[in-house]
Structure 1
Amino acid sequence: MKKLVILLIAIISFVSCKEDGKKNNDFILPTSTGNTNRVLVVMKGYDWLNRPGDELRKIFGEHQVGLPQPETLLSVTQIDPSGFGGFIRKNKAVLMFQKSDTTGISITHNKYATPQVIVVATAADEEDMIDLIRNRGKEIIKIFQKEDIKFVQEIFKKERLDPAKFKTLQNLGITIDIPERYRTVDDTGEFLWLRQHLQSGIARGDGTNNILIYSVPLNDETTIADNITRVRDSIGERYIPGAREGMYMITEQAYTPFTYKTTIDHKEAFETRGKWEVKNDFMAGPFLNYTIVDKKHNRLIVFEGFTYAPSVNKRDFLFELEAIGKSMKIK
């Protein structure tokens, strides 16, 4: 009897270990692969080379506004469903097309790797697929962009500068996740300028990403959008000098910036994308400006990121600045 009890205990322990192991394995996922702003499209080769693929390239090939050279919102590569296996399934962002009686999209997270987002687009036939891409393509793009923002912000949280070390952030009551590779250019208590020297590619040594943070009084809510360019030009003249006297950063006069309504930290805000230049000089590049309405303190909080990276694409540099700006919290 004693031997039987011992045998039963051993069997139960073995089964429990197997079950626990299975549960643990279910949650152990490999790290995903792929860079931000890049999507793997799983679509049959015939569709990719014909009208569905043309429509997808048209939607995803829309240019990001405010960049000196044409760059698409997202970069896409295609693979046939028969090849979607092994390490390919670890891609961080996947758009998968499948045939179904119903037309629509669904979202799955961390199915084959982590972090990962898979958007499954279903359609009954070619015409339905084209209509789906045409009608919901921009929505799909926003899904991938939102996930990329979250992905980048999680990295920055782990390597962030301490906001308590900056007089301007303390005086303005702001916390923000800025990577520690950024260095202080100016911190007056009213104006903060941080700079990161780019460390890769042709821009190495010459290229920089820059962050500006400051506030201005909130005088008239109806004129905020109209005054964004005027405010940033006045800040450029006061704080961002060029190589010689009379040179300073301004909004490029030959290019009209684009301004959109958005939200930052659950507050009304305006997103402006455009190009900057140095007055009486040849330096120029793209900028991204978030002007946030802080009614509680009767002020506007301004976050601006601008890039100087001659001869290289700048979409991904500006995307990093977007992720930083959207991490801002106002006390």
Structure 2
Amino acid sequence: MKKLYSLIAIAFLLTSCGGNDKVLLRNSIGKVNKVMVVTKSSDWNGDIGKAIRNSFGELMVGLPQPESLLSVSQVAPNGFGTMMKVSRNILVIGVGDKEEYFVRKNVYAQPQTIVYVYAKDDEGVVKMFNKHQKEIIKEFKDSDIKMTLSLFNKKKIDDSQYKTLKNLGVSLTIPNKFNTVDDTGDFLWLRNHLSSGIAKTGSNNILVYSVPLLDETKVADSIVAVRNKIGKKYIPGSDPETMHMITEEAYTPFTFNTTIDGKTAYETRGKWEVLNDFMAGPFLNYTVVDKKNNRLVIFEGFTYAPSVNKRAFLFELEAIAKSLKIY
């Protein structure tokens, strides 16, 4: 049994080394943010499984309901058959002949990401996994972003129709399920009315705008103030005189350093609400430092979907945001 993980790795290496011969791979299956873990049941029920569940099960920030970063399922190596091998995101982990961490793409299906983690004993496996856990999560999330954008590309809107994007000199991969709410030339608001299940009364929303770059050292600290100003100006509630979108005051947003289109950017996740009303939900804000044009280009996505989980909705908005290009 100890050698089984090495045999799996050797098998795919042999099948992928066919010179110039092209192998027709099946289409992968699986929901975004979902990982199949291939490991022995005893490992899954022990320290190895606990480490995986603690890492992938970390709660996403900014969501009203508790939702994990990644969902997981487990299958034993002897059950890792033909149907299982077409899963899009797979983690193969367990005891092997040596310590190893590596990633392979499109082994049994496409698109597919398989991460391999081995060590000589259970303690070593846990250490190897913990050492690379952030990389592993990023591998799976980046893979899902790429896959989602490839789907959106097949049914994307011609974004040259939007005055605001044209004036700002930016482009985005936006699926055609989004409709225009407002396009002033300085501010773009697009909305996708959700049509499935209990969420059919809700919507996914995209905002795009820019503000001057005044002090690069204070960009992160100004994000909430900027979005509150924009909310007051452009996003009214049912009574425009007394109601508009604000950042929820009872919940402090989280801001992370990132890059968009190769530029310094800040990712902020938090909750929005409508002043003097009961509407609320999560938002995802990317503030991109465009030094060339002395400005901040801002993409924001926010979701209104009462009583349902919202991770998948925010993930779609994240994928669209990461397609942003500044010309």
| TM-score range normalised by the length of the shorter chain | over 0.9
Aligned match for 1:122, one of 102, 118, 142: 118
After superposition, what is the alpha-carbon deviation per residue over 1:126-161, rounded to whole angstroms, capped at 9, x for unaligned? 111111222222221111011111111111122111
Deviation at 1:278, TM superposition (A): 0.3
> Which residue of structure 2 lines up, in the alignment, with residue 291 of structure 1?
287
Query: Which region of structure 1 is more displaced relative to structure 2, 23-32 or 293-302?
Result: 23-32
> Which residue of structure 2 lines up, in the alignment, with residue 215 of structure 1?
210
* Identical counterparts, % of pairs: 57
Query: Which region of structure 1 is more displaced relative to structure 2, 154-163 or 179-188?
Result: 154-163
> Which residue of structure 2 lines up, in the alignment, with residue 88 of structure 1?
84
Q: Partner amino acid for 2:259? A: T
- Whole-Å separation in 2 of the counterparts to 1:113 and 1:136: 24
Deviation at 1:24, TM superposition (A): 9.3
Query: Which region of structure 1 is more displaced relative to structure 2, 186-195 or 150-159?
Result: 150-159
| Poorly superposed stretches of 4+, deviation over 6 Å | 22-25
Q: Is the 8 A contact 2:43 2:94 kept in 1?
A: no
Aligned match for 2:41, one of 23, 45, 57: 45
Deviation at 1:100, TM superposition (A): 2.1
Q: Partner amino acid for 2:52? A: L
- Whole-Å separation in 2 of the counterparts to 1:63 and 1:25: 44
Q: Partner amino acid for 1:211? A: I
- Whole-Å separation in 2 of the counterparts to 1:168 and 1:60: 38
Aligned match for 1:61, one of 54, 57, 60: 57
- Whole-Å separation in 2 of the counterparts to 1:45 and 1:148: 27
> Which residue of structure 1 lines up, in the alignment, with residue 6 of structure 2?
none
- Whole-Å separation in 2 of the counterparts to 1:246 and 1:273: 25
Aligned match for 2:238, one of 232, 236, 243: 243
5+ residue gaps, structure 1:
1-21
Q: Partner amino acid for 2:203? A: T
5+ residue gaps, structure 2:
1-17
Q: Partner amino acid for 2:64? A: P
Q: Partner amino acid for 1:236? A: G
Larger radius of gyration: 1
- Whole-Å separation in 2 of the counterparts to 1:136 and 1:177: 31
Deviation at 1:86, TM superposition (A): 1.3
- Whole-Å separation in 1 of the counterparts to 2:129 and 2:116: 12
Deviation at 1:202, TM superposition (A): 1.3
After superposition, what is the alpha-carbon deviation per residue over 1:227-249, rounded to whole angstroms, capped at 9, x for unaligned? 10000001000100001131000
After superposition, what is the alpha-carbon deviation per residue over 1:64-121, rounded to whole angstroms, capped at 9, x for unaligned? 1111111100000000000001111100000001432321311111111111111111
- Whole-Å separation in 2 of the counterparts to 1:82 and 1:293: 50
Matched, 1:227 2:222: yes
Deviation at 1:51, TM superposition (A): 1.3
- Whole-Å separation in 2 of the counterparts to 1:132 and 1:201: 41
Q: Partner amino acid for 2:32? A: T
Deviation at 1:56, TM superposition (A): 1.1
Q: Is the 8 A contact 2:189 2:207 kept in 1?
A: yes
After superposition, what is the alpha-carbon deviation per residue over 1:186-231, rounded to whole angstroms, capped at 9, x for unaligned? 0000000000011212101x11000000000111111111110000
Q: Partner amino acid for 2:216? A: E
> Which residue of structure 2 lines up, in the alignment, with residue 131 of structure 1?
127
> Which residue of structure 1 lines up, in the alignment, with residue 28 of structure 2?
32
- Whole-Å separation in 1 of the counterparts to 2:301 and 2:196: 19
Matched, 1:311 2:316: no
Matched, 1:257 2:280: no
**RMSD, aligned CA:** 1.3
Q: Partner amino acid for 1:49? A: N
Aligned match for 2:150, one of 146, 149, 154: 154
How many residue pairs get matched?
A: 309
- Whole-Å separation in 1 of the counterparts to 2:275 and 2:29: 42
Matched, 1:275 2:239: no
Matched, 1:113 2:109: yes
- Whole-Å separation in 2 of the counterparts to 1:260 and 1:60: 19
